[in-house]
Amino acid sequence: MQEQKLINEQLIKNMLWTFLVFAFILVIFDLMIYNQVKNVLYTEIDTQLTSINVNKPISKINPRMIYILRDSQGNVTNKSSIGRIYEEYLVTLNFDKTIVDKIYNINISNEYAYRGITYNVLTNVFTGQTGYLQLLVNVDGEIQTLKNLSTMLFLASIIIIVISIIASYILSRRTLKPIIESWHKQTEFVQNASHELRTPITIIQVKQQLLLQEPDSKIIDKSEDINLVIKESRRLTKLIKELMMLATADSNQLILKKDMVNVDQIISDVVAPYVDFASIENKELKLDLNFGKEYNLDRDKISELLIILLDNAIKYTSNNESILVKTYSKDNRLYIEVNDTGIGISDENKKHIFERFYREDKARSRETGGTGLGLSIAYTIVKLHGGTIKVLNNQPKGTSFVIKI
């Protein structure tokens, strides 16, 4: 529940950030487009308004432009040439004599938008009388274009923001998924680890308390208890060592010390002591080493990997059964196989055996000193070497571990 709440909070935060970032980018983008279009539209009109030479008679009338001549008081003197437009609209037009040679915006009858300019002109050459020439261009079309543009930009921005929020939600869920999974795994790992550590500690404590309750008894009488304490201490040491190795690998601090090594030699050195051990248990341990080359590996880690697989192979085979360790080269890759004719692993369990603390039979594994970490360490070692490890059925029975590096 708590977890789901945190995930939802994170999702909402991500969506909010996406909204803010996109909204900010889009506002800037919209403003730039709007200003650019506005400039383009008005530059043309402003050039028309400013390119008039007032000292010369106007040679070519611009049909979009209204030419208003005014005397020094500002009264219109060319009403007749302006015609009906003057009667219907321009009568009420305010005129500001002080704004000269500067482009301004003006509304006519509160309905039509114009852009205009006023020039000082000589109205009578003989008397030297001056007046004004006011030029007006209707910009309703431009204003409508800008209105349409802003509506379009607004709608497009809303659509982009909505799409980006949905995309951010989907992407956040995707990126959060592996994090959530590894978080679950981590929590499960910590819970399992504390449980596994607690068991031997409890046994050691209880046994020691019992020993203290009988201080006069002889060691020989209590050898079973003492043995158990020693066994559990060993188990604890093994567990801590394995946990440390996995934690170091998880934090990417485990660095391999790779060298060109004689693979077959390393394997036969590791297997040698197990041959006698296996024969004591009436099991046969055979070698079939055909790699015959040097390969770039971490010698200690590969030995560790083989020990894990051999330990298991011996652990899970019965009397008169056999174990075969093979090496060979295929497609320029090194293959190591550890095959046994033991109890085998069910297909369902095959899917889980590389998981930390996974054991097919917890009680049995515990009895044989197993921690359930062996194969996950083997998996980590192979992965660090850039290889793969697979578990298959051995023929006619048993298990086969195939490593490809």
Interface residue list for ligand ADP (CB under 6 A): 308, 312-313, 316, 340, 342-343, 345, 353, 358-360, 365, 370-375, 399
If the CB atoms of residues 116 and 372 are measured against ligand ADP, the closer one turns out to be 372
Q: In the complex, what is the shortest distance from the CB of residue 269 to ligand ADP, in angstroms, rounded to a whole number?
A: 21
Separation of alpha carbons 314 and 323, rounded Å: 8
If the CB atoms of residues 137 and 345 are measured against ligand ADP, the closer one turns out to be 345
Contact 354, 288 (CB under 8 A): no
Q: In the complex, what is the shortest distance from the CB of residue 178 to ligand ADP, in angstroms, rounded to a whole number?
A: 24
Q: In the complex, what is the shortest distance from the CB of residue 266 to ligand ADP, in angstroms, rounded to a whole number?
A: 20
Q: In the complex, what is the shortest distance from the CB of residue 345 to ligand ADP, in angstroms, rounded to a whole number?
A: 5
Angle ∠(215,216,219) on CA atoms, nearest 5: 85
Q: In the complex, what is the shortest distance from the CB of residue 358 to ligand ADP, in angstroms, rounded to a whole number?
A: 6
If the CB atoms of residues 95 and 357 are measured against ligand ADP, the closer one turns out to be 357
If the CB atoms of residues 168 and 365 are measured against ligand ADP, the closer one turns out to be 365
If the CB atoms of residues 291 and 354 are measured against ligand ADP, the closer one turns out to be 354
Which of 356, 360, 358, 357 has its CA nearest to residue 346?
A: 360
Q: In the complex, what is the shortest distance from the CB of residue 257 to ligand ADP, in angstroms, rounded to a whole number?
A: 24
If the CB atoms of residues 327 and 380 are measured against ligand ADP, the closer one turns out to be 380
Amino acid at 87: E
Separation of alpha carbons 326 and 303, rounded Å: 14
Amino acid at 391: V
Report strand pairing: 104-108 vs 65-70: unpaired
Q: In the complex, what is the shortest distance from the CB of residue 194 to ligand ADP, in angstroms, rounded to a whole number?
A: 18
Separation of alpha carbons 146 and 214, rounded Å: 99
CB neighbourhood size of 10 (10 A): 15
Separation of alpha carbons 384 and 254, rounded Å: 9
Bond into 396 cis (ω within 30): yes
If the CB atoms of residues 34 and 358 are measured against ligand ADP, the closer one turns out to be 358
Bond into 215 cis (ω within 30): no
Strand 284-289: give its sheet, edge to edge. Answer: 284-289, 322-330, 333-340, 399-404, 388-393
